[in-house]
Amino acid sequence: MGVDVLLELAASMVPERVALGPHAGGMTFAELAERSAAGAGLLLAEGGRSVAYVGVNGPSFNVAVFASALAGLPMTPLNYRLPDGDLGALIDRLEDPVVLVDDDMRARLPGRQRLFSTAGWLAQTATAEPVSLPPPDDDAIAAVLFTSGTTAAPKGVVLRHGNLTSYVLQTVELLVADDEDCALVAVPPYHIAGVATVLTNTYAGRRMVHLPAFTAESWLDIAATESVSHAMVVPTMLARVVEHLEAATDAPKLPALRSIAYGGARISPSILERALAAFPAAGFVNAYGLTETSSTIAVLGPDDHRMAMGSDDPVWRARLASAGRAVPGIEFAVRDPYGALLPPGQTGELWVRGAQVAGEYVGLGTGLDAEGWFPTRDRAHIDADGYLFVEGRDDDTIIRGGENIAPAEVEDVLLTHPSVRDAAVVGLPDEEWGQQICAVVVLSASDTKATAEERAEIVRAYASSRLRSSRAPSSVLVWQELPYTPSGKLLRRTIIGSLTAESDNPIAATTDTPANGGS
Amino acid sequence: MSVPVPLRTGARLRSQVDATEIIVVRAPADPVELTCGGHPMIDVKAEPEAGLTLDPARSTGSPVGKRFSLDGDASLEVLVTKGGDGTLANGSAPLVLKEAKQLPSSD
């Protein structure tokens, strides 16, 4: 069954309930269904074979998700923060896409055919003729989402209708929300959570409001004015909100806020404890999932948070840092590098199985093994009661503020500096961002009078001028040499180990973390 | 009378004797004969056979939004898209309600 059925059910049962936007004057579920069918007609009239969405989150994205499904077209929300060339290259990888683009981003896509303005297209869906086509099969592709990837070329993750609907049916009760519920969406459309939130909230019958550009102040404002009951944030956003609340005495109170879900990156224990204190009436939910698993596969629920906070039992205390337990329909296995199953408590690679697990990439085929298991590349262990602890990426991707950064990308820039002989970039634990980017460089011999500190600072400034702020190293350290295996493989873990263990830093140049998310 | 046929995932079926409509979420490889209210379910667009009535012994109801499966067998799963009065069954063996575990909203 296709994701269109999720909307069809909500629209048939609560047609007059507001689905999108403000309580007064928002779009109802019946209107969302009608406009999605009209939008499908508009997309098909362009003669494309897929849909690309280049824009911030908002009602037009929700309509586009269902319109694409009704039209039988795979849809791809794209990271509008990418440089123009990278953005264009990803669109070029899609099959004859109809492109929906925000007006203020249109100039970034010169020479594109089949282009719609998101606002113009949404307006047209009010009057265009609805279409009725055979519904998409389980096997039809619902979405292709690009990972930021660990290599230069991002991978296109294929999510089929069967994967996404399995996820929703297993984890959400139809119309579990009531008239007063409201979900606040602050994640961008190109994040798997940005897609999943459209589906789960629609099936739950929960009104959604959007915050396209996050600041702590605007988040608190919209949460107050829209009486938001459910919010989902990445840890970096939660940190900002908590800091704002701790500093401001006149911040709005949020009596309607019942649920705060966070995920997408590691959260620092101190931020979480401060958030729990800042919102004592809200239930906290830690969600863990991957693009390849159609969003959430493990949940640490409000009761778990309360138990962990209030307990003297070290086993329970530890679970505040856990991702919780598998959602229904999902199985976990922790395996060693040879594929052997590891017992509870032992760390290995997390493998997952279930109908929502897609594990498939455009042009590469399935990543599932013969029994349907998918290797997540995350290092994890599971305790005796099934609580999952994710310890980081199995590979070396740095996850800073929810954004994946390949060390190689940063190293390549560092190595273009004439004084840099060798470079390694690693992620170090960071309270605010989950991880911070640290570069360790080996400098070539020099006859300049500059000190090592001064040379490190030159390299740091050089990298900052050539990388987006979210990808520039926040510190650059100078070492005499980097550790390698005899076979020439860089020992990143050794670097991380020595950096997190020692307090007397070697020669370093550091900078304050950029004030905004960096883009 | 209909004969058991393999079900297709995504197939939409209706009851012949009450308002029940379902969508097949998971289809087993083996044929099953889905019935509702004591009579075979038919394609949602097909016309019911004339003169059939709901069997009172098979009228426990099929609430909208609920999922049903075979007793002790997860290979079949159907979702009720329109509620009705009839009992969903495989032949004469009633399907069982899949209890959804109430999960907190995570996205």
Structure tokens at A393: 């990426």
Q: What local confidence, expressed as pLDDT, does residue A518 receive? A: 34
When CB atoms are compared, the residue of B10, B101, B104 closest to A285 is B104
Q: For residues A335 and A351, is the Cβ–Cβ distance under 8 A? A: yes
When CB atoms are compared, the residue of A137, A169, A296 closest to B25 is A169
Percentage of chain B surpassing pLDDT 70? 93
Note whether A283 contacts B104, CB cutoff 8 Å: yes
Q: What local confidence, expressed as pLDDT, does residue A126 receive? A: 97
> Which ipTM was obtained for this model?
0.84
Q: What local confidence, expressed as pLDDT, does residue A503 receive? A: 47
Q: What is the pLDDT of residues B5-56, one digit of tens each?
A: 678 878 899 999 999 999 998 888 888 899 999 999 999 989 999 999 999 9
Burial class (CB in 10 A: 0-12, 13-18, 19+), A371: exposed
Pairing, β A374-382 against β A348-353 = antiparallel
How is A203-265 classified by DSSP, letter by letter? HHT-EEEE-SS--HHHHHHHHHHTT--EEEE-HHHHHHHHHHHHH-SSPPP-TT--EEEEESS
3-state DSSP call for residue A292?
Answer: helix
Structure tokens at A114: 């089949």
Note whether A296 contacts B107, CB cutoff 8 Å: yes
Question: Which chain A residues are closer than 8 Å to B23 by Cβ?
Answer: 1, 5
Question: H or E segment at A162?
Answer: helix A161-171
Q: Shortest Cα distance from B104 to chain A (angstroms)?
A: 6
Q: What local confidence, expressed as pLDDT, does residue A489 receive? A: 54
Structure tokens at A266: 């590691």
When CB atoms are compared, the residue of A8, A165, A193 closest to B107 is A193
Q: What is the pLDDT of residues A500-517, one digit of tens each?
A: 875 444 566 666 443 333
CA-CA-CA-CA torsion sign (A427, A85, A81, A144):
negative
Q: For residues B88 and B72, is the Cβ–Cβ distance under 8 A? A: no
Q: What local confidence, expressed as pLDDT, does residue A485 receive? A: 62
The mean per-residue pLDDT over the stretch B96-106 comes to 84
Percentage of chain A surpassing pLDDT 90? 70
Identify the CA nearest to A303 among candidates A325, A328, A270: A325
Identify the CA nearest to A69 among candidates A95, A44, A104: A44
Q: What local confidence, expressed as pLDDT, does residue B65 receive? A: 87
For A322-356, the three-class secondary structure string (H helix, E strand, C coil) is CCEEECCCCEEEEECCCCCECCCCCCEEEEEECCC
Length reported for chain B: 107
Note whether A1 contacts B23, CB cutoff 8 Å: yes
Question: Which chain A residues are closer than 8 Å to B105 by Cβ?
Answer: 172, 183, 200-201, 204, 206, 230, 259, 261, 285
3-state DSSP call for residue A440?
Answer: strand
Give the residue from chain A lying closest to B67, CA to CA.
A169
Q: For residues A196 and A157, is the Cβ–Cβ distance under 8 A? A: no
Which residues in chain A land under pLDDT 70? 148-152, 266, 268, 392-395, 447, 485-489, 502-519
Note whether B81 contacts A232, CB cutoff 8 Å: no
Percentage of chain A surpassing pLDDT 70? 93
Q: What is the CA radius of gyration of chain A?
A: 24
When CB atoms are compared, the residue of B10, B100, B103 closest to A1 is B10
Q: What local confidence, expressed as pLDDT, does residue A183 receive? A: 98
Q: Shortest Cα distance from A492 to chain B (angstroms)?
A: 33
Model's pTM, two decimal places?
Answer: 0.81
Q: Shortest Cα distance from A173 to chain B (angstroms)?
A: 7
Q: What local confidence, expressed as pLDDT, does residue A507 receive? A: 60
3-state DSSP call for residue B80?
Answer: strand
